[in-house]
Amino acid sequence: MADKYILSNSTTGDTVDLNLITGTDGPAALDITGLYKERGLLAYDPGFVSTASCTSSITYIDGERGILRYRGYPIEQLAANSNFLEVAHLLLYGELPTKTELLEFEGIISQHTMIRETMRTFFDGFHYNAHPMAIMIGVTGSMSAFYHDSLDIHDPRHREISAHRMIAKIPTIAAACYKHNVGEPIMYPRNDLDYCGNFLHMMFATPCEEYVPSKTAIEAMNLLFILHADHEQNASTSTVRLAGSSGANPFACIASGIASLWGPAHGGANEAVLKMLEEIGDVSNIAKYIAKAKDKNDPFRLMGFGHRVYRNFDPRATLIREMCHKVLAELSDEHNPLLELASQLEEVALKDEYFIERKLYPNVDYYSGIIYRALNIPANMFTVMFAIARTVGWVAHWSEMISDPSQRIGRPRQIYVGAKERDYVPIDKR
């Protein structure tokens, strides 16, 4: 017989039996789906700290032990052996592709890289210094105005085409945001290049001059994209799922995910880390900023530190730190004061009682900005880079959700704490 929990009211002695739901790994969950219907009770959990909103077979995280797996494969093994599109295939279809399947998948993605010619004119409408994330949200949302032939979300083939389009076109849109910012012509994609090489081409080539990325740059981008590809029910993925639960089209859902990712507590942290390091400026100021981070009356937080789920090292941060050293050693011959500052700040924080007690460790974004900067990607594009990679996770979750027969429209409840019923007072009597 399945384990049950019995909740009891300490005053009335009234009890509620709750079934336990267990997955293949990770903590069990109390099934409270009947709680309101049967007992008129709600569960209260702001920030969803103890709430599982769905079952999912895409990604597994054990935050206490610093474990991250995509479809069962440890992130370290994927980082060491895979490229981004292989991981994208794994996340979307559940299995690593064979050679033939990978070639076919790469071919399909490269055939979808162009955006409609009229979409290119949208970029002219944005202010020259618009934040690229703002442009990303607008242009991605607009895709539903173009690709009407794949918008039947209940047709698995339509969902698949939309997923391919999204994964293929997001880098094109992202690079166009950058080109708009720097006032250069938008570059067409090159389908003879791989996913990361093509993105770097669209970013840094011009009609007058080709850009040949180094092997290390492509390797670093692949790693960052793999590590950012999915992270189960984080804020932006949950946003995509919630938007999609109403039956909204996939392009609108991904635009909502990009909007959620932009916040500094989420994907915006990589840009915020670099700003913070620049503000700290010098190792001699570390103590002052650590004190600010610990001061409850100061809003300053150590950006790139802490994570809702990881209460141990974020395994992605360890991999990125290694790559950071490699990239800086190969791509910049000068001594890098930002990396030195970041290393020392990390060392001081990890020895500080405040950070130890709260289990605050560097997260995925602590070092990613330093790599992006070494690749000449400007700080306001860092979160865009995250969005390119996370698009794969978003579409995988969106598709999983739509094909799950138990999924209903997402509709959290609330505990109302406002005014009791009162009568309308005419304006001249208030």
Active site residues: 307, 365
- Site for ligand ACO, residues 101 to 140, rule: CB under 6 A: none
Asked whether the CA dihedral 176, 180, 182, 184 is positive or negative, the reply is positive
Q: Toward ligand ACO, which CB reaches closer, 14 or 295? A: 295
Q: How far is the CB of 265 from ligand ACO (least distance, A)?
A: 4
Residue 209 β-bridge partners: 206
Task: Report how far residue 185's alpha carbon sits from residue 163's, in angstroms, rounded to the nearest whole number.
Answer: 27
Q: How far is the CB of 333 from ligand ACO (least distance, A)?
A: 30
Q: Toward ligand ACO, which CB reaches closer, 119 or 277? A: 277
Total site size for ligand ACO, rule CB under 6 A? 19
- Site for ligand ACO, residues 393 to 422, rule: CB under 6 A: none
Tokens of 359: 């289990």
State which residue has the least CB distance to ligand ACO.
306
Q: Toward ligand ACO, which CB reaches closer, 197 or 257? A: 257
For the chain, how far is it from start to end, CA to CA, in angstroms?
A: 62
Residue of 265, 287, 329, 356 that binds ligand ACO (CB under 6 A): 265
- Site for ligand ACO, residues 33 to 52, rule: CB under 6 A: 47
Q: How far is the CB of 200 from ligand ACO (least distance, A)?
A: 23
245-267: b or e for each residue (b if 16 or more CB lie within 10 Å)?
A: beebbbbbbbbbbbbbbbeeebb
Task: Report how far residue 326's alpha carbon sits from residue 146's, in angstroms, rounded to the nearest whole number.
Answer: 42
DSSP 79-102: HHH--HHHHHHHHHHSSPPPHHHH
- Check if the beta carbon of residue 396 is closer than 8 Å to that of residue 91: yes
DSSP 275-310: HHHHHH-SGGGHHHHHHHHH-TTS----TTB--SS-
- Site for ligand ACO, residues 221 to 260, rule: CB under 6 A: none
What residue ranges in 13-91 does DSSP mark as E strands?
15-21, 29-30, 59-62, 67-70, 73-74
Q: Toward ligand ACO, which CB reaches closer, 168 or 293? A: 293
The verdict on 266 binding ligand ACO (CB under 6 A) reads: yes
Q: Toward ligand ACO, which CB reaches closer, 131 or 307? A: 307
- Check if the beta carbon of residue 195 is closer than 8 Å to that of residue 109: yes
The stretch near ligand ACO (CB under 6 A) out of 72-80, 240-248, 264-272, 369-377 is: 264-272
- Site for ligand ACO, residues 335 to 374, rule: CB under 6 A: 358, 360, 363-365
DSSP 118-163: HHHHHGGGS-TT--HHHHHHHHHHHGGGT-GGG--TTSHHHHHHHH
Residue of 115, 259, 269, 274 that binds ligand ACO (CB under 6 A): 269
Tokens of 39: 């007992």
Q: Toward ligand ACO, which CB reaches closer, 38 or 298? A: 298
Site string for ligand ACO, 286-315 (x = CB under 6 A): -------x-------xxxxxxxx-------
Q: How far is the CB of 228 from ligand ACO (least distance, A)?
A: 8
Question: Residue numbers of the site for ligand ACO (CB under 6 A)?
Answer: 47, 265-267, 269, 293, 301-308, 358, 360, 363-365
